[in-house]
Chain A
Amino acid sequence: MLTTVVERLKIQFSNSILEIREFRDETTIHIKKEDIVRVCAFLRDDESCLFNYCSDICGADAYSPENRFEVIYNLYSLSYKHRIRLKVFIDESDLHCPSVISVWPGANWPERETYDMLGIIFDGHNDLRRMYMPEEFEYFPLRKDFPMMGVPDSIPLPRK
């Protein structure tokens, strides 16, 4: 269904695409980290793509020695009503990822959430603060090596 979109991407960014996967009519494209902003801007503006709505950005921790983290972009087109998913690998040695708030200003909070939960640092983000956890919290709870009950005394309780 997304053949035109995929074809256009292949022509424009043949060097940036690592993998294209199709599963249950959902298209997922792995993109090189440094090209994500350009790809996103293209997907938003191109006449046959028009992904004008960034419905969610989240992260995942595979806990693997290489390419441990993923940032996942779920995009939707309000004009054509089609969806696509982009993925970017983040290695543990370099937790930086380019921010896409210049493409969709609404990506601000989802990126903050991903930073809060997994510790991925979005370069170019204008307000990269904690979202759910207290400001002074030092850990990243959705990482696989974070204990489920938390680190004792890492969040202070009020005095009784």
Chain B
Amino acid sequence: MGLEHALGDTALTTTIDSAINWCRKNSLWPMPLGISCCGIEMMAFAMPRFDVARFGAEVFRFSPRQADLLIVAGTTTYKMATVVRKIYDQMPDPKWVIAMGACTSSGGMYRTYSVVQGIDQFLPVDVYVAGCPPRPDNLLHALLMIQEKIQRGESKSTPMTVAAERQEQQLLQIQGINNN
């Protein structure tokens, strides 16, 4: 059934990286951080009407240690910033971050003393989603953009594809040689 049927007795050639990235991008496990009204749209994004399961990211994990995509959905106050950062730090590499909504991306309408004017002041953000709140389809679009990034082997947090890791090691070695 399915793939074997279509392919028959053939072989596929690809690189390890693109195979791994293909797996990664279709099995993202999001860590939902619905810290205010945007969280409601994030829930809709997981529900059957918008159905994020079509893109393989339906396993919402409420433990950062089992997640690789952080969706920050809502107004982030200074007091909450420490918590957001702590959750982010607990996620294993490689990881990606979506800043959902105007508040998270830039402080939004809360131009005041208590709200961080954009979570990129303390977190590396991969995709920003505009809107107050963004519609769930906007968030789906952000997820698709994250998938494209993963396929290209990019992450703002860590450049952790096999090739990038190797490249980094090679660079280190070259630098080491030059230093000697």
List the interface of chain A (C-beta within 8 A of B). Answer: 132-134, 141, 146-151, 155, 157-160
Contacts and interface: CB of A to CB of B under 8 A. Distances in A.
A134 B79 contact: yes
Interface stretch (B11-19, B116-124, B133-141, B142-150): B116-124
Most B C-beta atoms less than 10 A away, residue of A132, A133, A157, A158 = A158
A150 B112 contact: yes
Interface in B114-172: 114, 116, 121-124
Q: Which 7 A-B pairs have the closest CB atoms?
A: A150-B113, A158-B85, A155-B78, A158-B122, A157-B122, A160-B122, A157-B81
A133 B80 CA distance: 11
**Chain A contact residues: over half helix, strand or loop, or mixed?**
loop
A133 B79 contact: yes
Nearest to A141: B113
Contacts of A147: 113
A147 B113 CA distance: 8
B36 interface: no
B164 to A, nearest CB: 21
26 contacts: A132-B79, A132-B114, A133-B114, A134-B78, A134-B79, A141-B113, A141-B114, A146-B113, A147-B113, A148-B112, A148-B113, A149-B111, A149-B112, A150-B114, A155-B78, A155-B79, A157-B81, A157-B116, A157-B121, A157-B122, A158-B81, A158-B85, A158-B86, A158-B122, A160-B122, A160-B124
